[in-house]
Amino acid sequence: MNESTFGNSTYELRFHSLFQPGRAIAVPCDAAGQVPLDELSERLKAAYLGARALVGREYAFPAIERRH
């Protein structure tokens, strides 16, 4: 995923909270769910990696969704 694709991404990978309805962590991805780690800000990268580590404990398995 190159810079222009990342900026215009129509998909996002969403980790919905298991305990707080309406709360989720969303990061840009491609249609296959691949996240461009090198293109994320440090803050978003930390949130993404944290959510991945907490799947099943704090967050549901991620879903690929179209961005609004």
pLDDT tens-digit series, residues 44-62: 999 999 999 999 999 999 9
**For residues 31-58, b (16+ Cβ closer than 10 Å) or e, as one string?**
eeeebbeebbeeebeebbeebeeeeeeb
Q: Which of 50, 43, 66 is nearest to 17 (CA)?
A: 50
pTM of the model: 0.84
pLDDT value at residue 6 = 56
Q: Which has the closest alpha carbon to 64: 15, 24, 22? A: 15
